[in-house]
Amino acid sequence: MNESHRPPVPWPAEVDPEHLREAASRLAAHVSGQVGDDGAIRGECRSRVLESALALSLMTRIGVSSPARDRVLAFLREHLDSPQEFDRVLATLAVGRAGDRASADGADVVAKLTDMLLGAAPAFISARRRRMLYAVLSLFGCPVPPDAAPAADEEAPTDPVHSWAAVQQAAVTLVLAAATGVSNGATAAALRTLTAVRPETAVWEGYVLLHLLSLHGLAGVPGQEETVRSGLETLLRYQRDDGGFPFVAGLQHWCTSTAGIALAAAGSPPGVLRAMAETFVAHEVVESQRSLCLSLSRGAPLTGGWSIGPRVAQNDVDCTSCVLEFLQAVDPVGYGGTVRRGVDALLAVQGADGGFPTYVAGASSEPCMTAAAVNALAPYPFTAPARERALAFLADSQLPDGGFEPGWSRSRLHAMFRARLAACTAAPDDHRAARMAERIERSVRETQNADGGWGMQPGDPSDDISTAYGLITLCYGTESRPVGSALSWLLAHQNADGGYGGPPDMVGPRPFAYHIPVLTDAPVLLALGHVRHRVRSTASLLREGVA
């Protein structure tokens, strides 16, 4: 855990330390109870409307009538009145199309949903995500905007992207080409890409959404009928009990590393932590899968790090940073060789601007990934020059309101709390990092709701995850009152089983939220861990740790 140059925050008088200790113990028990015999947290991804609608659309498109179709149709009918507009509209379109009812005002739907969703995604992916949205909506009968139709002379893209994005681009290219009747150099390359991942035999990388987009892309290509039907049978292995489909098969490494950092901060027993750490030391991917991932990537991928799961070859900065931070907390000496390989992998993808991308060298640097990398690299003195450049990138990237561009969370505070922790690693004479930290703290204080919590965005109702992020940030400030208000909010919202609820914040692909319950518990436990280390007068009680 990063050390602050500031003295501890005074203990807020309105919070009972014993109540906090008991709540932290219950939450830690709830999280550690999800650790399997192999040391991993499976963290099953809940069904999502996007994938479920695409699955129903594919079944409708190729004329499948089965119990699986009936179940996904029932799932979508339950979401016809969803409070989330995108889910509500997509469920309505999918159910209507399954019943052979045409959608009305398709052009208006496309414009409205696209503008709404792209505002929550980083600017550098907006063009790619816009095309994806156009492709998805075209599968439900919505028209492709004229300016989105593929050009007759369009060639395959060459921009630096990771393997998942390359496959997504290929699928979107074929969907849009089929919708507009265009064939060009890009469509030929896209077909080669999609056949390379062999969707008829497996859900490549466990990425259900990519599998569905790939099958829809191939469904518009003559001669691919058997591939699509076999691919649909493969997909059905991932249908959930509620009839829907998830975004991915699982995010075992992501769940285990983020929960592990939180458990370590809360003082959990070393036996549990070591069992969790061993899952990362043992991580290996089949060479053929790794080679395919490398061949599809446009740009040097992160090698020697970690991915979202044990059978996933596409490594990323986020997972690698969290795994490194966790291994450092458990046993930096015992895991020294593994850690050094991860550190070298991170340093290899640092951009010329000092920032870090999510996946491949040469892609756009992102503030949230950069902050995560700084926090992971902080314990290693030889990384000081790289961290100094990264902190400069963070300072340059800060928005006028103290925040940063959207990353992999719907909560504005996700990147902010990470950047505030990264600022703790700066040299005492790094005045730019200090000013960045002050602006973060001020913004977090000013956007705290009257009830003591924070919402995903300023003015939104308070939620568990954003409140945890806000609390972590203010643990590195000087005022006890906002810390006490946030703690009071969290203590009042703990569930009977010791866990926490509320809306999910993680997104994938951006800006689509996915839900894994432990990813709500982990940020709250992490926040209580930071309170344990940073709030005065709690040491004698809270440093006893949690069982």
Residues designated as active site: 318
Going through 268-318 in order, the beta strands assigned E by DSSP cover none
Which residue matches tokens 């008829």?
Answer: 200
How far apart, in whole angstroms, are the C-alpha atoms of residue 148 and residue 152? Answer: 12
How far apart, in whole angstroms, are the C-alpha atoms of residue 150 and residue 143? Answer: 14
How far apart, in whole angstroms, are the C-alpha atoms of residue 494 and residue 508? Answer: 27
Tokens of 350: 């640092």
**80-89 burial: b if 16+ Cβ within 10 Å, else e:** eebeeebbeb
Q: Is 341 helix (H, G, I), strand (E, B) or coil?
A: helix
Peptide bond into 67 cis (omega under 30): no
| Residues whose CB falls within 8 Å of the CB of residue 60, separated by 6 or more in sequence, listed in order | 97, 98
How far apart, in whole angstroms, are the C-alpha atoms of residue 38 and residue 362? Answer: 36
How far apart, in whole angstroms, are the C-alpha atoms of residue 235 and residue 58? Answer: 11
Tokens of 470: 């806000």
| Residues whose CB falls within 8 Å of the CB of residue 395, separated by 6 or more in sequence, listed in order | 432, 433, 435, 436
